[in-house]
Amino acid sequence: MAQIRAGLVGVTGYTGMELVRLLENHPHINLVAVTSRSDAGKKVHDIYPFMQGFATGELEITVPDAPSLAKQCDVVFLAVPHGVAMTMAAAFRKEGVAIIDLSADFRLRDVAVFETWYKAEHAEPALLKEAVYGLPELYADQIAKAQLIANPGCYPTTSILSLAPALRNGFIHTAGIVIDAKSGTTGAGRKAAVGSLYCEVADTFKAYNLTTHRHTPEIEQELSLVAGKDITLSFNAHLLPVNRGILATIYTQLKDGVSFDTVYEAYTDAYEPHPFVRVLPKSALPELRNVRGTMFCDIGLVHDPRTGRLILVAAIDNMCRGASGQAIANANLMHNLPIETGLMLAPMVP
């Protein structure tokens, strides 16, 4: 088959870095153009010495330019900050290029919700209708036909995959759900900031943005659709002294009369067709390292008869499954490739 030509706008951040790694290993998508205003003129291996010896390492970084990229690429990944992405996406769409946007700009279907949580006007509200939420386990068919993918956030990926089967089947109460999520520090991005320094993150741990994290409306939007009713939940984030990974512990209340066996079976059934979701054996719980560098979402289920709670524990790699790898899975679907193409690398432990 013909190789798919991909462009990457924003190579210098962590999600850009991860796209470079994953596309180097991809048998059918070739990275042919990478951009960065600050590093234009250099080769990829100049800024990423770990790519010396690989084809992608030899690529020259250019200034982002929609018409020029449009000529070279079948699909373009946008790994730029929210706000910037929406304008770029519009420029690329005008040139007819398919876009996979890793920012938050097209994830919220209701522009008012976007503007409330992101405290900024949306410059391209018309494009929102065109955008497909790129969570393959929920929207594979629409993704396959889309030209503009809103690649999900890392916390929402974890949360939605964990809660969807329980909500879809009406096993749990929709009120009172708590998501206690813990993320590795790549989640804070690669910008120079005192709060992200090694000596401010190592050997410590903290909560942040409690009750106000911007991924909250994205989670509520998708789970409300799954449940068929409006869901308001408590989502809260913490910063882990690890590079990669999100682990979320999710507290729900099982409805009377629903047995744990029924729930467990519904989960294994729901995810049996989906290679990237691993429902763990009943006694097992996820660990970040088991999903590091991979597309897996590992889900463990625990029932507490004392409190009637169903506790879901889920782990993903925020960089791979929660961003760049998921973007490539979406690209696979858009080009009729098996979703796992180039993405089934055995994880490195430890």
Residue 154 known to be catalytic: yes
Please compute Rg for the chain using Cα positions: 20
Q: Which of residues 137-176 bind its own copies (CB under 8 A)?
A: 176
Q: Which of residues 303-332 bind its own copies (CB under 8 A)?
A: 303-304, 306-307, 309, 311, 313
Q: Which of residues 8-27 bind its own copies (CB under 8 A)?
A: 14, 17, 20-22, 24-25
CB atoms inside a 10 Å sphere around CB 344: 14
Specify the pairing of strand 246-253 against strand 277-279.
Answer: unpaired
Q: Please, are residues 164 and 267 in contact by the beta-carbon 8 Å criterion?
A: no
Closest CB 313 distance from its own copies, rounded Å: 5
Integer Cα distance of 208 and 211 in angstroms: 9
Integer Cα distance of 307 and 331 in angstroms: 43
Structure tokens, 201: 């993150």
Of the two residues 100 and 201, which places its CB atom closer to its own copies in the complex?
A: 201
Q: Which of residues 261-280 bind its own copies (CB under 8 A)?
A: 275, 278, 280
Q: Please, are residues 77 and 7 in contact by the beta-carbon 8 Å criterion?
A: yes
Q: Which of residues 70-89 bind its own copies (CB under 8 A)?
A: none
Tell me: does residue 284 bind its own copies (CB under 8 A): yes
Integer Cα distance of 214 and 123 in angstroms: 18
Catalytic residue selected from 73, 154, 297, 320: 154
Binding residue for its own copies, selected from 28, 30, 54, 341, defined by CB under 8 A? 54
Of the two residues 2 and 348, which places its CB atom closer to its own copies in the complex?
A: 348
Q: Which of residues 24-53 bind its own copies (CB under 8 A)?
A: 24-25, 48-53
Tell me: does residue 349 bind its own copies (CB under 8 A): yes
Of the two residues 3 and 307, which places its CB atom closer to its own copies in the complex?
A: 307
According to DSSP H, which parts of 14-135 are helical?
Answer: 14-24, 44-47, 66-72, 84-94, 111-118, 125-130
Dihedral of CA 98/102/108/113: which sign?
A: negative
Query: Which region holds residue 203: left if phi is over 0, alpha if psi is between -120 and 50, else beta?
Result: left
Tell me: does residue 110 bind its own copies (CB under 8 A): no
Binding residue for its own copies, selected from 56, 174, 318, 332, defined by CB under 8 A? 56
Residue identified by tokens 């409006």 is 230
Residue identified by tokens 């690398």 is 345
Binding residue for its own copies, selected from 210, 262, 269, 282, defined by CB under 8 A? 210
Binding residue for its own copies, selected from 7, 16, 153, 245, defined by CB under 8 A? 245
Q: Which of residues 180-199 bind its own copies (CB under 8 A)?
A: 180, 182, 185-186, 190-194, 196-199
Question: How many residues sit close enough to its own copies to count as binding (CB under 8 A)?
Answer: 87
Three-state secondary-structure class, residue 324: helix
Which range, of 87-95, 154-162, 229-237, 262-270, touches its own copies by CB under 8 A? Answer: 229-237
> Which amino acids are annotated catalytic?
154
